[in-house]
Structures are given as C-alpha cells and as structure tokens.
C-alpha cells in the first residue's frame, strides 16, 4: 500500500477514536503564545504570553482581545482585556503555579458580531504531576479473581468471512467471542494478511461511542493480523441507525452505569472482554502469540493500558490521549480525565463512587505495566486533559516513549502515528 495513503488512513482511524475531531479553521484565529518554546515552566515561574489575532494570514492591529487564565478546566482566576498595538501584538503576565499542573490561557476576539476563540495550556513541571487517586489494597486480588472467573467461560467463537470486504492481500472476518459470562460476547472485525506462517498481531481498542466497524484495518497491509473490537457486547456490523438509537437511548451515559458497585460497573465487562480478545488472538494458528500489541485513542487508549496491565501476553502497546486517567481529580479540586466525574460534590453517593473508580482508573493499571509503550497527546486537549494523562504516564516504570505535539487537542498529527508504527515494528523486529 502506498506509504502516504497508509499514514493518511491510520490518522483517520485515530481521529475516529476521538470524542471530538480536529476543528475546522476559523476565519479569525486567536493565539496565546508562551515565551517558552516547549510551553513548560518550573513551579513558581511566571509566563509572558503574547496575544494576537490573525485574519486572512495577517495579524490584526489595534484589536481588543479578551483573555482569562486559571487552573486547567477549572474556574478562571483572572479575566481581562488588552488591545493589540500597531504590530498586532499584546502581552500579559501569567503568574506561576505553586504545584505541578497546567494553566489554561483562553483568548477571544469579537468581529462582526461573532466570537472567535483560542487557548493554550502551559505546563508547570508536568513530569512531576502526581495522581490524586490511590491504589486499593485489594486491587490486584480483585482483578485476578475476575480474570480467573472469566477464563472459565468457553470462547464459543463464530467467524463469518466477508469476501466483499476482502481483497487480494487481506481477508476480512466478522467474529463473535463469548466473554465474561455465558451469553455475553465480544464482537469485532478481523483483518488477516494473506501471507504464510504466524504473524504479529494488534488488538485495536475503540474510542467512546457506539458504532459500526467494517473493512480492512490498514495495519494489515503492514504485515499484522488486526482485530478491531467493540466493548459494548453488541454486533459491530449492523445498520448505522441502530447504533444511533442505542447511543441516544439504552446506551446513553454508559460510562456511569453501575458505578456505585465495583462488581456492577459497566467497564468490568469491557476490561475482561479485552482480555478475552487476547485469548482469541492467541488461539489462532496464524498469530505469533509472542508478538501481540494493543492500541487505541481516548477510551481506546484507556483500554490499551488496562489490557496490557491485565494481560502479560501483550508485549507492546501504544496509547493516544488515554481517557479515565485520574478521574478523582475534580473531587480533590483539580482537573480530572474523561468522563469528568465527581464534579457534583452534592451527590450523596459520591464517596462510594470515588472508591469504585479506583478499581478502574487507568493510573492504577499504569502502575503495573511491564511492557514497553508508546504514548502521544497534546497540551491543548480539553477532553483527556494533560494533567490527567501525565498523572498516569508519570507512574509508569516500564520502558516508555512520549511524543507530545503541544498545540494538538483531542487529535494527532500524521507524524505521531507514523512514529508509533515505526516504534512498534522495531519492538517486533520488523525493521525494513
């Protein structure tokens, strides 16, 4: 497959994992430019921010810019207005944070009655951010028991060959695998290269939402057996209207279902379903079970870290802007990861829910990773904010590589996905 087309396809896959995609270009773009090129400051160090607006590639002189700054995703500490000079620039001072974390500087311009906005997240010793969540004493025992019970459930695999989606290089199958409990299934799409012998495999894990999966995963053209799965226990090959109805009906707010109890929380089935998907890959004669990776973005990044922590048969992972990292952040007065739980402290069950979240928080799985991992995100991600993702990354003791594109939000640049692929090939001895 043409290299450019592959990278473009992989980027589109990564974007489809996101909760929100890269925004379209605005007529006026408003910038808050830090005086540190890496956007990183030491705790207590103030930042000088240069504010300007660009219309049709020209800076706008003598233009009012409204600004605010404060802790990431929390109430602004200061708001104000400045006017750009004849050169189109204005400058403000942002005081340093006392503890590691991120400060959001938001800017906007109103033009012809329409408001145009921008933001920059500057980091204060991000590599020193510590999580707010804590590790339950019986965390390992809880998950070992859950895995042992799930392992007793037979897989009862069904496969359906899809010739209309296959081509001369890759075969496509729709699969159903029994998981977790009798009558509970993992559904997915399998892409198998038409080459001889066992091949390295990748488990692709989905972003949030309820959706259809179909067709060849482009990574199959690179020599990998690829299994794309859903984690909701519903078929992945149905009409789009069905998924729309589920997302707006029975599946609405699924991330909150059962959170009052660690045994009934929605993600228990999802986490164990990911392990069952590894069981399936390892059962295939065309898969080299010593070379299995997992990857995903957002919820998929969350599931990648969790799956690798739960299953040592995963030998490498790459996770993009992982969700569900340090979700107790808001409970303790700072930003937390998607899905932004515990904002309502009047909830009478909040302490119970916080306790349950600790068994599912990516931070606590990240502590147990042993496999090498490739990670990527941006400072301007307002969905899986960097305070949360750094909270997880900083507790990882396994070999790790982080590629930050600071100006990205909940999306990636092509170079990040290309480097992830080359990194994985090196891990699996597939260098060309």
Out of 18, 108, 298, 391, the active site residue is: 298
Residue bearing tokens 């053209």: 221
Q: In what order do the strands lie in the sheet with 185-193?
A: 158-161, 170-178, 185-193, 225-229, 199-204, 287-297, 316-320, 373-377, 400-404
Out of 232, 387, 391, 410, the active site residue is: 410
Rounded Cα gap, residues 289 and 97, in angstroms: 47
DSSP assignment letter at 204 = E
Query: CB–CB of 389/322 below 8 Å?
Result: yes
CB neighbour list of residue 346: distance below 8 Å, 6 or more residues apart:
none
Task: State yes or no: is 46 an active-site residue.
Answer: no
Rounded Cα gap, residues 323 and 338, in angstroms: 5
Q: What's the full length of the chain, in residues?
A: 432
Task: State yes or no: is 381 an active-site residue.
Answer: yes
The residues with which 170 forms a beta bridge, in sequence order, are 193
Out of 106, 361, 381, 387, the active site residue is: 381
Residue bearing tokens 């997915």: 188
Helix/strand/coil percentages in the chain, nearest 5: 25, 30, 45
Secondary structure of residue 269 in the 3-state scheme: helix
| Helices and strands of the chain, counted as H and E runs | 9, 18
The residues with which 249 forms a beta bridge, in sequence order, are none
Show the 3-state SS of 31-53: EEEECCCCCEECCCCCEEEEEEE
Rounded Cα gap, residues 380 and 3, in angstroms: 29
Strands (E), 217-359: 225-229, 287-297, 316-320
With the CA atoms of 311, 145, 384 and 238 taken in that order, what torsion angle do they form, in degrees rounded to the nearest 10?
80
Residue 392 parent element (H or E) = helix 386-393
Which candidate, 283, 262, 302, 305, places its Cα nearest to that of 143? 262
Query: CB–CB of 389/410 below 8 Å?
Result: no
Task: State yes or no: is 228 an active-site residue.
Answer: no
Which candidate, 218, 211, 170, 154, places its Cα nearest to that of 187? 211
Active-site residue list:
298, 381, 410
């Amino acid at each position: 497959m043409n290299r450019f087309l592959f990278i473009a396809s992989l980027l589109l896959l990564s974007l489809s994992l996101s909760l929100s995609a890269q925004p379209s270009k605005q007529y006026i773009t408003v910038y808050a430019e830090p005086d540190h090129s890496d956007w990183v400051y030491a705790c207590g160090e103030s930042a000088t921010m240069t504010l300007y607006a660009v219309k049709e590639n020209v800076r706008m002189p003598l233009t009012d810019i409204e600004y605010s700054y404060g802790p990431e995703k929390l109430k602004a500490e200061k708001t104000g207005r400045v006017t750009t000079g004849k050169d189109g620039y204005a400058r403000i001072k942002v005081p340093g944070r006392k503890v590691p974390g991120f400060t959001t500087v938001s800017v906007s311009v109103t033009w012809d009655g329409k408001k145009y906005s921008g933001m920059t997240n500057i980091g204060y010793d991000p590599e020193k951010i510590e999580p707010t969540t804590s590790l339950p004493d019986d965390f390992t025992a809880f998950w070992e028991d859950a895995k042992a019970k799930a392992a007793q459930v037979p897989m009862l695999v069904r496969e359906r060959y899809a010739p209309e989606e296959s081509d001369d290089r890759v075969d496509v199958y729709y699969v159903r695998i029994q998981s977790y409990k009798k009558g509970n299934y993992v559904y997915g799409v399998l892409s198998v290269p038409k080459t001889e012998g066992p091949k390295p495999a990748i488990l692709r894990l989905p972003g949030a939402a309820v959706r259809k999966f179909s067709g060849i995963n482009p990574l199959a053209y690179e020599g990998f057996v690829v299994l794309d799965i859903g984690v909701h226990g519903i078929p992945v090959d149905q009409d789009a209207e069905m998924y729309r109805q589920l997302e707006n009906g029975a599946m609405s707010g699924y991330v909150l279902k059962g959170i009052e109890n660690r045994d009934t929380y929605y993600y228990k089935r999802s986490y164990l379903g990911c392990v069952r998907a590894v069981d399936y890959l390892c059962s295939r004669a065309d898969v080299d079970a010593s070379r299995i990776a997992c990857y995903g973005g957002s919820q998929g990044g969350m599931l990648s870290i969790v799956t690798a922590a739960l299953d040592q048969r995963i030998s490498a992972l790459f996770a993009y802007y992982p969700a569900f990292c340090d979700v107790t952040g808001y409970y303790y007065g700072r930003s937390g990861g998607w899905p932004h739980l515990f904002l309502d402290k009047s909830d009478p069950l909040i302490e119970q829910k916080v306790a349950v979240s600790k068994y599912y928080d990516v931070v606590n799985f990240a502590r147990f990773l042993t496999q090498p991992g490739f990670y990527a995100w941006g400072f301007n991600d307002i969905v899986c904010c960097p305070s949360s993702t750094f909270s997880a990354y900083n507790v990882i003791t396994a070999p790790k590589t982080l590629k930050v594109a600071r100006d990205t939000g909940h999306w990636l640049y092509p170079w990040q996905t290309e480097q992830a692929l080359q990194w994985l090939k090196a891990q699996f001895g597939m260098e060309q």
